[in-house]
A and B are shown apart, each in its own frame.
Chain A
Amino acid sequence: MAFVTANSIRFHVQRLPATAGAVGPAGPVVVFLHGLVVDNLSSFYCPLAVPVARAGHEAVLYDLRGHGRTERPATGYDSRTAVRDLIALLGALELGHRPVHLVGNSYGGTLALHAALARPDLVAGLTLLEPPLSGAWVENMVDTLSAAALSLEDSPVPAELLTLRLRKAANLTSTAEELLNRTSLIDDIAASRTFTAADYARLDCPTRIICGEHSELVPGALELARHAPHATIEILPGLGHDVLKESSGVLRETVLAHLEATATAAAMTATGAARTARAPRAGALVR
């Protein structure tokens, strides 16, 4: 079942069932959200999704709207639509009946945070890898993407690139060109709203933030960790933005530990043994 239609978009989805005999607790299903433009679900596959499934948690990966093998409509690249896409997809996969754990990388982390704030009833926990959270990031990213869009505009993929060996480069170029020049992605990012301390203060699920020591996104992540009541941050020494690719061992251990803690907390909540105050609040926010 690689393709699922939700919110009128055909999404590329991969589900990795929890491996039989795994030792970890069967916690919430873990849903992965990747980063912008040249990214897709495959970045998570080896470093996190396979280990997560083998630890006993079902893993669900999907290509965001316009990315990877998912359909690429002209509009709808704002965070509000991304959250609607996620919710519709969970419904289509029949996963909407109990909260999931969201793992977001880079901009996927920002989207995961939007989802947890918009629908706390659907999100059991968050793992945010290098989430860009500041207004300065938005400005820089819009400048970078606009420059890339211009450079791609006059260089359509030459027909001679479309051979077996050069297909990879051709696909990368044409995906970026289409997303940047033929969709509202840049405008939608430019119009995005930044989070406030009040937003962070109402984030009511266990949240683990993981950043690279040399990343420019650390100050924004520290701000989230300071204000969100259940958030902790880990800064990985010697790394920059690409923690997913560069630190798979340490990252894997950290993410698995957080998932097990979240699963245990969710199990305790389900039996009414803990966080009893949360239940009515989450229930009141169901829309």
Chain B
Amino acid sequence: MATTTDVLAEITGMLVEILGDEFLIAEEVTMSTSFNEDLALESIEFVALAELLYERYGSEVDLMGFLAEKDMDAILAMSVGDLVTHIGHVTRASLARTSQAAAEATAKATASATRTAG
């Protein structure tokens, strides 16, 4: 299961990739780091981050749904932690759905096998 620490480490790695390690070292990024105030992230750099997040998590994380409710100023006013929390919630919910579906399929197969045996 993706933990907050895992997601923070992944997003930090993406930010270092986008900004370059001459500007940003991974240890500087925490949950409270702000995209605008602390990182001076440009809009186009956030778009690059969104692309990396999409590549990493795919449609599992409805990033566009999350972004659709915000304008770029609101997005850049967020902290790294806000994004980490959103992704953590979604991936946990998605894993829970997957586990539930698997459990239901197992129960169904068991019931079917029981009927066949009976």
Q: Which of B3-11, B70-78, B79-87, B101-109 lies at the interface with chain A?
A: B70-78
- Kindly count the residue-residue contacts between A and B in the assembled complex, taking CB atoms under 8 Å apart: 59
**Between-chain CB contacts (< 8 Å), 16 pairs:** A19-B65, A41-B44, A41-B47, A42-B43, A45-B43, A46-B70, A46-B75, A50-B64, A50-B67, A54-B65, A54-B68, A69-B44, A165-B38, A168-B40, A168-B41, A168-B42
- Tell me the bound Cα distance from A16 to B48 in angstroms: 12
Give A77-110 interface residues, CB cut-off 8 Å to B: none
**In contact, B65 and A45 (Cβ under 8 angstroms):** no
B40, A42: Cβ atoms closer than 8 Å: no
Q: Mark A161-201, 1 if CB is under 8 A from B, else 0.
A: 00111111001000000000000000000000000000000
Nearest B residue to A166 via CB reads B40
Most B C-beta atoms less than 10 A away, residue of A2, A50, A68: A50
Residue-wise interface mask of A (1-36) relative to B, using a CB-CB cutoff of 8 A (1 in contact, 0 not): 010000000000010100110000000000000000
A175 to B93: give the CA distance in the assembly, Å.
43
**Interface residues in chain A, defined as those with a beta carbon under 8 Å from any beta carbon in chain B:** 2, 14, 16, 19-20, 40-43, 45-47, 50-51, 53-54, 63, 68-69, 163-168, 171, 248
Interface of B is mostly: helix
Besides A41-B47, A47-B71, 13 new A-B residue pairs in contact (Cβ under 8 A), listed by A number? A2-B51, A14-B51, A19-B64, A42-B47, A45-B50, A45-B67, A46-B72, A50-B68, A51-B68, A53-B64, A164-B39, A164-B40, A171-B42
Residue of B nearest to A69 (CB): B44
